[in-house]
Amino acid sequence: MYLGVFLGPLAEGPHQDSELIDFCLDQALEAAASGFSLITFGEQHFNNYEPYCNPFMMGSAIARHLKDACFGATVIPVPLHQPFRLAEQMALLDQLTKGQCVFGVSAGQPVGSSEHKNFGIDPHARQEVFDANMALLLNAFAHQPGDGPIVMDTPWGKGALDGRLMPSAWRRPHPFIALATNTESRIAKAGADGWPIYMAPCSAEQAQQRVQVYRAALVNSGHSDSVIQSCLQKSAITRQVFVAATDAQAWELVVAHTAGVTSLPGAEGSSPLTARDAQAAYQLNLNLLDVEHQPRLCQLQALQACIVAGSPETVINTLLDQHQALGITLLAKFTNGPMDISSWQRSFRLFVDEVMPALNPQTYAKPN
């Protein structure tokens, strides 16, 4: 089984930034020493989530101390980046980790967020920008000394790569890139291209269906067994993990750490996140909410589906079941809810000391 750690804390404001950044770096190194295969940081801007903001800087801070672990970015919103500069940043981190990194990429947050507008990008064009920037990014990695310039001439940016990309990537033709998506057509394309995938929160049943689509695309595209195995190993889905001495104590943590995101007008106290049966919780709340608030309920139901909570024994059995169904990396997130470092660390240590030994965790093969 392949296990990862996603370090994505939520700050209340600037006064918590320094402590959370230090905590994330410390837990990343502790995770690397404990046998996790993947350690990931995200990228957020102008909000309180992931206050370190820049996964490349965090990756460079730990690159020389990863031991057998792999660095991951979950995920890079490609439309926000100049593609040639992004290629440089990815290549440098690929060099610093000696090829032990995976960069998750996406078109960014949904249209309703302010992310793209803050960078002067029409959110409705985010998929177009993603496709154009990814094409330029891949061309930059393929560019050889002596080749002519690669010209960037799009509605979203002008420029050229006139010279050589430096540094070159450690892994050729480019670092591992994972497509972050839950859309089955794009999952199939990632399989055809031989890229890993990162899935957003979804139920075990939905994840299993998407992995089946992905596996079929890998096989039908004629990839070698080694490529298929590597892609499946490096693909990942995030689970919010709460470990305590008993199931009841773990679910008390769930309620306490999700209090800020579980309120639903007309259904206070009956959030999907506090019910262990997702379908029962959905039906309970669906009867209490009017149509206006049902989209919010669906978001919470998706979040509930990615929670793994319980005693060490319960968490072991849950993760073994999910591994059996999916066969990809399970990315554990312990930094759940408002800052509570002591609680996060207790859950993490219980996981390392009492859960991991029963899961026989492995690390990815080192790149040649």
Q: What is the pLDDT of residue 254?
A: 86
For residues 329 and 319, give the distance between their C-alpha atoms in angstroms, rounded to a whole number: 11
Q: Are 75 and 180 in contact (CB under 8 A)?
A: yes
Distance of CA 350 to the CA centre of its chain: 22
Residue count of the chain: 368
For residues 79 and 135, give the distance between their C-alpha atoms in angstroms, rounded to a whole number: 12
**CB neighbours of residue 360 within 10 Å:** 9
Determine the average pLDDT of the residues in 45-74: 96
For residues 128 and 45, give the distance between their C-alpha atoms in angstroms, rounded to a whole number: 21
Going by C-alpha positions, the residue among 191, 249, 247, 261 that lies closest to residue 219 is 191
Query: Two tokens at 268?
Result: 């206070």
Determine the average pLDDT of the residues in 101-108: 96
**CB neighbours of residue 248 within 10 Å:** 10
Query: pLDDT category, 200, cuts 50, 70, 90?
Result: confident
Percent of the chain with pLDDT over 90: 77
Query: pLDDT category, 110, cuts 50, 70, 90?
Result: confident
Q: Are 175 and 87 in contact (CB under 8 A)?
A: no
Share in percent of the chain as helix, strand, coil (round to 5): 50, 15, 30
For residues 88 and 277, give the distance between their C-alpha atoms in angstroms, rounded to a whole number: 46
For residues 58 and 28, give the distance between their C-alpha atoms in angstroms, rounded to a whole number: 10
Residues pairing with 113 in the sheet? none
Q: What is the pLDDT of residue 96?
A: 98
For residues 364 and 37, give the distance between their C-alpha atoms in angstroms, rounded to a whole number: 6
Task: State the chain's mean pLDDT as an integer.
Answer: 89
Q: Are 310 and 250 in contact (CB under 8 A)?
A: yes
**CB neighbours of residue 320 within 10 Å:** 14
Alpha carbon separation from 175 to 73, 86, 100, 180, 236 (Å, rounded): 12, 12, 9, 15, 17
Q: Is the pLDDT of residue 48 over 50?
A: yes
**CB neighbours of residue 244 within 10 Å:** 22
For residues 136 and 149, give the distance between their C-alpha atoms in angstroms, rounded to a whole number: 12
For residues 214 and 228, give the distance between their C-alpha atoms in angstroms, rounded to a whole number: 10
CATH number at 3-241+311-359: 3.20.20.30
Q: What is the pLDDT of residue 303?
A: 62
For residues 128 and 173, give the distance between their C-alpha atoms in angstroms, rounded to a whole number: 24
Q: Is the pLDDT of residue 299 over 70?
A: no
Determine the average pLDDT of the residues in 215-238: 96
Confidence (pTM): 0.89
Q: Which residue has the higher pLDDT, 142 or 304?
A: 142
Considering the chain, tell me which residue range(s) the CATH 3.20.20.30 domain(s) occupy: 3-241+311-359
